Structures are given as structure tokens and as C-alpha cells.
Structure 1
Amino acid sequence: ARISAHTKPIFNIQVVKSKNELLTTGEDGAVAVWSLEDFSEIYRFQAAYDTVRAIAISPDETEIAFGCKDHLIKIYNLADYSIKQNLDSHSLPVTSLTYHPTGKYLISGSRDAQLKIWNLPTYELLQTIPAHMFTVYDIAFHPTLPYFATSSQDKSIKLWDAENFKLYKILSLEKAGIGHTHSINKLMWSNDGKYLISTGDDRQVMLWEMED
């Protein structure tokens, strides 16, 4: 099926498994909600007046977070897509979001090169980490172990402890002797957690074998 509803480029899609719905959003700031049964548009709302770059769904699928060009993180209830909270701390557009697998934290990354750790359910800002030199494009939790990876426009991947948020390891051309030569845009872990897959502006897909 081919579905079309946005007036500008689409930057992110997410599936809400519990509702059998697909969400799309992008440069027009709109969020379109689609049925995965017949791909009809169910609902639409304006999350921002400019680009929405990132989407994250809480592990219990009760809320959804949007990272926006206006520097805000906007939290919505997944049950009815009503606004719940605005988080304002980044100084530049929010480019990446993910929930801690336990649901205790929301982690955001931005063009300001920082990671921010938000406590849930209070949404209190717990920590700001100067994580990279440039934009943080992706955040990905290991499927079984307590750490996560971030990727950046600075051509590096960094591994972080998911409990104390300390830097664990850097994967880059400079540090490892192998790596991306341009911005790293997307990360994904293999299901068993043995490999981290990265891709970027250099048109390369790299497979990183994790140490035991």
C-alpha cells in the first residue's frame, strides 16, 4: 500500500503494537495516525509548527514523545493522543529520543550535542551530558545488557552505562582505526546483542562485534 498525507518530507515512523497503528511525522510538524489493518488515516494532530525529527514510545505504550525543531520535547498520551507535558531544556533542535527499557527515564539528544536524562514519571531533568562534539542523531539501548549507544555528526559512536550514565567506550576511526568518515545517522542492535549496526552519510553500513 502507498499512503500519502504529509505536505513536506517525512523523518520518522513508529508502530504502536498495542493499538495496531502506524505514526508518521516530519517537516510539516503534523503527526498522522494510520490503521495497520487497512492503512486508512485514523487521526491527525499538529505536534509542532515546524519539523518533528524524533519519536519514542514508552515501554508500556502509555505515552509517546516527540523531539521538535523548536527545542521542545512534547509528551502525549497514547490512549487519545492528548498533550501531557512539554520539556524545555535543549538549546537547539531535538534530534533523537528513547525510553529506558524499564520506563524509568527518557533520554534525549540534540543538535546542541548534549544528552539529557529525564526522570519518569515526574519529567524532572536529572542530568545533562556533553556527549558529542556535534548533533546526536540516534540513541539505542542494548537488548539485554545495561548500556546504550549514541551516534553523532562527529563521526563517532559512544557506549554509555545505562545505570550511572558514564561513558564506557568510543567507536570511531580515530579510536578504533576503523569507522565512519561522515555523520553517523542510525544505530541498531542485533537481537542477541552481539552486534551493533551503524550507517551514515558515507553510505557505509558497519557491523561492530561487541566484546563479551
Structure 2
Amino acid sequence: MQRLEVEKISNFGGHTEGLYSVVHFNDNGKFYTAGADGFVVEWNIAQADQGRLVAKVPNTVYALCPLIEENQLVVGQNTDGIHLLDLTSGKEIKSLKLTDQAVFSIKRFKNELFIGTGDGWLIVVAIDQWAVTKKVKVSEKSVRSVAIDPKKEIVWTGSSDHLIKGYAIDTLSEVRELLGHENSVFALTVTPDAQFLVSGGRDAHMRIWNLDGFIETQKDIVAHMYTINDIVFRADGKYFVTCSKDKSIKVWRTEDFRLLKVIDKARHAGHGTSINRLAWIGEDIIISVSDDHSAAAWKVAGL
């Protein structure tokens, strides 16, 4: 049996309210956090006490999207659309008012942003034009998660109406609907080999959907005690992590979707409140952000 050892290597404090987003750039140890206080902060794993304030935005941030080649960051705000930040200068370059509801998810594919909003829209923004080029009404409820299948060029959405829908990237025509979750779909990701779509939701279930054909749920796993907030794969696709309102992080093996490790407060001095988002940096570093206002870095040995 594969045995993993977990070490908490850093804690990152400084935010004044709960954190809802974390992203990283190119596995270089640098990452960005944001949440209810509107602060966008740059951190380095090696220097946990030296966070750099990149920007302060007026409202809660639920979504960040890195533009790696441009060294820019897209910030999705509650009630105020998206903002484009230059990370070298820390200045806002552009903004775009999309909705008076929350922006819950932003994903990049090529030169477009795919954005899920609280009023049920999937909105496409061309990065170079910084303008809306396409949009489709996905649900009468919130679109909580967005994932990209780069091989089949399909964008997937998970919504508070319990449904997962797939749309052709070029036309936004609906190509598939997946039924199974019994509550809001908060987490959605495509495996790096594009074979599976993995979803998680308020029903605490993780579902694995086979994208090679029209087979419905490949697996249905009761993965946590409460809402699953995020699902993130290591770059090579061999392992992934989930996090939950139940205050735990879980490490899984993709080959057989086997649970390998639970990281929690009792065993690892983990977060004491809901863990909302994750990032996987390099081979063995996991970053988590929580309602407890902090981020943490975990080193996982034995992968």
C-alpha cells in the first residue's frame, strides 16, 4: 500500500476575512490569494512572512485566473465583473462589467476567458479585445464551476441547479448534459489526459465521468462529509486533491481513484474552518486557503 507523509511547511496570514481563491504561476513557488477582504496578495513558499499586496478591489473575490505568459492576473469580483492586473507594477490595466452578480469561476483557453456567473451565464471574453464575444444562459441559478476539455474543445459548467453541461467552445452550442449530483456543483475539472471529468458538490459526492463516449457516471464516491469545494490535479495527472467544508484535504490516486491521505486539523494542525480552494505546485506541494483567513503549504512525501 502506498504510504504518504505530510508536513505543514508554511502558514500564510495577513488576510482579514475568508479566502476563496488561490492560483500559481509556473511552479516557481509563487502564488496568489484573494477572498472576502478584496486583497489580492502575492506569496512565496520560501518566505511565508513576506506577502506582497498586489491590489485592493472593492468587493469579494471568488475567482482568479493567471495569464502566465503575460504576467497578468484576472480577478473576478462580486457584483463588479472582472479586472486585469499587471503583476509587475501591481496596477489595474483594464476592467469589464459583466454582471451585477458574483463571478464564481474563470478559466482560460487559448486567447479566451470562460466565465461562470451568479446569474447563470457562461460568458466568453476575448483577452486581446477585452470584450464579450459570446455568451449562453446555462441556468436560472448560479454557474459555480467551469472546466475546459482542450482535446475535444468543450467547456463544462457546474451549476446550483445540480446539472453539469458541456458546450462546444467555438459556438457555445450545448453538446451534453450530465445528471447525478443532488445539489450545487461547486467543483469541476478535466483530468490532464482529458479522459475524465471529475465533479464535486454540496452533496459531498465526487463523480467521475468518462469523456470517451457517452457512458454516464464512471464512479460515484462519497468523498467528504460536507460540500466539496475544489478538485485539483497534479500536472502529470497521477494524483489529485480535494477539499471541503468539512475542514479536510484529501489526496487521491487517479489510476484507481483511491484515497491515500487525509490532511486535517487533528492530525496535521490543519485549517479549523471550511477549506475553499487548492493549488498544486510542482511535484509535492499543495496550497490550501480557508475561511480561517489563512493559506497553508503542505509537502506530501511518497508520491
Bin the TM-score by the shorter chain.
over 0.9
Matched, 1:94 2:181: no
Matched with 1:170 is 262
| Match 2:292 to one of 194, 202, 205 | 202
Matched, 1:125 2:217: yes
Aligned with 2:141: secondary structure? Answer: coil
> Is 2:116–2:157's contact at 8 Å kept on the other side of the alignment?
no
Q: Distance in 2 between matches of 1:13 and 1:145?
A: 21
Report how many aligned residue pairs link the two structures. 208
Deviations along 1:38-82, whole A, 9 cap, x unmatched? 201111210111100000001426111100101000111112111
Matched, 1:76 2:170: no
Aligned with 1:199: secondary structure? Answer: strand
Unaligned runs of 5+ in 2: 1-93
| Match 2:204 to one of 91, 98, 113 | 113
Q: Residue type matched to 1:2 in 2? A: S
Matched with 1:50 is 141
How far did residue 142 of structure 1 move?
1.1
CA spacing shift, 1:29–1:145, aligned 2, 3 Å: closer
| Match 1:143 to one of 211, 235, 242 | 235
Please say which of residues 79-88 and 128-137 is displaced more in the overlay. 79-88
Matched, 1:152 2:244: yes
Matched with 2:107 is 14
How far did residue 26 of structure 1 move?
1.6
Matched, 1:29 2:128: no
Q: Whose RCO is larger (CA < 8 A, sep 6+)?
A: 2
Q: Distance in 2 between matches of 1:44 and 1:38?
A: 15
**Structure number with higher strand proportion:** 2
Of the two, which has the highest radius of gyration?
A: 2
> Is 2:241–2:252's contact at 8 Å kept on the other side of the alignment?
yes
| Match 1:161 to one of 239, 246, 253 | 253
Q: Distance in 2 between matches of 1:32 and 1:70?
A: 18
Aligned with 1:50: secondary structure? Answer: coil
The percentage of aligned residue pairs carrying the same residue is 35
Please say which of residues 56-65 and 111-120 is displaced more in the overlay. 56-65
Please say which of residues 24-33 and 82-91 is displaced more in the overlay. 24-33
Q: Residue type matched to 1:8 in 2? A: Q
Aligned with 2:267: secondary structure? Answer: helix
Q: Distance in 2 between matches of 1:132 and 1:117?
A: 15
TM-score, reference length from structure 1: 0.94
Deviations along 1:161-197, whole A, 9 cap, x unmatched? 1011111000111232x1011100100011x222100
Q: Distance in 2 between matches of 1:167 and 1:59?
A: 27
Aligned with 1:181: secondary structure? Answer: coil
